[in-house]
A = this chain, B = another copy of it.
Amino acid sequence: MPAPSQSARRTIDRILSGATPAEVAKALQPRLPSESPLAPNLPSSTDYSADGLRVRRQLLHGQGIRIRHLADGDADPETLAGHTENFVGFARVPVGVVGPLRVNGTAAKGDFYVPLATTEGALIASYHRGAYVISHSGGASVLCLTESVGRSPCFVFETVMQACQFVAWALPQVDSLQRQVSETSRHCRLSDVKTSIIGKEAYLLFEFTTGDAAGQNMVTFAAEAICRRLVEGSPVTPRRWYLEANMSGDKKATVGSFAFARGKKVVAEVTVPRRLLRRFIHAEPSELMDYWEVSVLGAVQSGAIGAQGHYANALAALFIACGQDAACVSEASVGLTRMDLTDAGDLYVAVTLPNVIVGTVGGGTSFPTARECLEMIGCYGDGRARKLAEIAAATALAGEISIIGALAAGDFGKAHQTYARKAKRR
């Protein structure tokens, strides 16, 4: 959709800012290294030794770049092997703690202090308030419903009939493909295969479970093994095939995630007594309901996927603290917040997140502060991934109660002002 002409005009004015289009165009000209020498290449990119680190830092230093804080209080750079190429140091993100948040789940059970890494003022305070309300309502009931991580290869044929023949031949093979999968990882299991034929292209969607790892690499390797096997054996040979054809929802919000969970699909719910709501949120249950109805229609008009307040705040902060893949906030922040009144006049609130893609082994989980944060909620190591997903959903629930309450009660601006003022006084 295009921008309104008025603002488009402003844009153009600003782009030009007094210069002629030709001058700006010139500024944008490519400058080849042969004509305009390129700054030096970063040496020893994947040398994870202390020597490699020193050489990289030296180069940056020679470019006038200071990295005192990044460098300070380091872990052994060898531990970065396989994780962070071109390593130069550590970013530090302040961690605040929310809780205790009482969670009554199948995997998560207890009162948790949830670590959130963020620099956004009022965020932690808001989640803390929501956690207080949840805990004093008896805690959040949480269920991890499904789990699955997908890869969606595409096989390009010459005709739709070839695509059908391939699918007809491939689907019966699926059960026997588990062996290929197991050879790539002992934690990875193929759980389902779905298909979509669009013209002469056959898209498959492999769904895997990945143990307690987030599993994105795992499913890449497994899917590749399967695809190679299928292509070798197929009676019709695809002209081309691709390991991932952008249908798995990897690193992006999709409507499809309501049909095909990515990671864990989790529901967290709580019934907040009216009395408690009035006291701590300063609003009636019906006031939150009224606001949320208007807000859902706002989301629908904006072309959002699902309808929720700000799951992304909980998930980004938790993911950074706990060594999760923060880029997955794109898909993980999709979901539905639901409110209802009970017969007793209390407020039922539920969040449903279909894409809580988290791991408690592998990825960044063993990095020192990530491990500490995971341990803080008892989620480090094998057998804890569903627990982590449930805590994540309960935290999102806390945030929804707090923000919807603040907007319904007219406290939203005030709350941010209170916390921001502390910053300004400095």
Contacts and interface: CB of A to CB of B under 8 A. Distances in A.
Q: Which of A66, A197, A296 has most B Cβ within 10 Å?
A: A197
A100 B333 CA distance: 33
Interface string A370-381: 111101100000
A398 to B, nearest CB: 13
B410 A302 contact: no
Copies of this subunit: 4
A149 interface: no
A194 interface: yes
Contacts of A63: 113
Interface string A383-426: 00000000000000000000000011010110011011111111
A330 B302 contact: no
Nearest to A367: B119
Contact of A73 (B8, B38, B73, B340): B73
Given A242-B295, A307-B246, A67 B372 contact: yes
Q: Which of A30, A40, A70, A253 has most B Cβ within 10 Å?
A: A70
A313 B296 contact: no
A282 to B, nearest CB: 15
Contact of A38 (B1, B100, B413, B426): B100
A128 interface: yes
B159 A141 contact: yes
Given A258-B301, A417-B221, A327 B330 contact: no
A209 to B, nearest CB: 10
Contacts of A249: 302, 304
A39 B293 CA distance: 35
Nearest to A290: B240
Contacts of A223: 413
A72 B75 CA distance: 10
A31 B102 contact: yes
B256 A56 contact: no
Given A191-B10, A195-B5, A310-B327, A77 B49 contact: yes
B85 A350 contact: no
A90 B70 contact: yes
B48 A369 contact: no
Contacts of A76: 50
B50 A423 contact: no
Q: Which of A33, A164, A243 has most B Cβ within 10 Å?
A: A164
A33 B254 CA distance: 39
A399 to B, nearest CB: 10
Contacts of A165: 21, 25
A202 to B, nearest CB: 9
A68 interface: yes
Contact of A426 (B15, B81, B207, B305): B81
Interface in A63-88: 63, 65-88
A253 to B, nearest CB: 4
B327 A48 contact: no
A70 B408 contact: no
Contact of A121 (B83, B88, B267, B330): B83
Contact of A106 (B7, B27, B135, B143): B27
A2 B195 contact: yes
A85 B91 contact: no
B138 A31 contact: yes
Q: Which of A2, A247, A256, A420 has most B Cβ within 10 Å?
A: A2
A11 B223 CA distance: 23
A192 B10 CA distance: 11
Contacts of A99: 39, 42
A148 interface: yes
A273 to B, nearest CB: 10
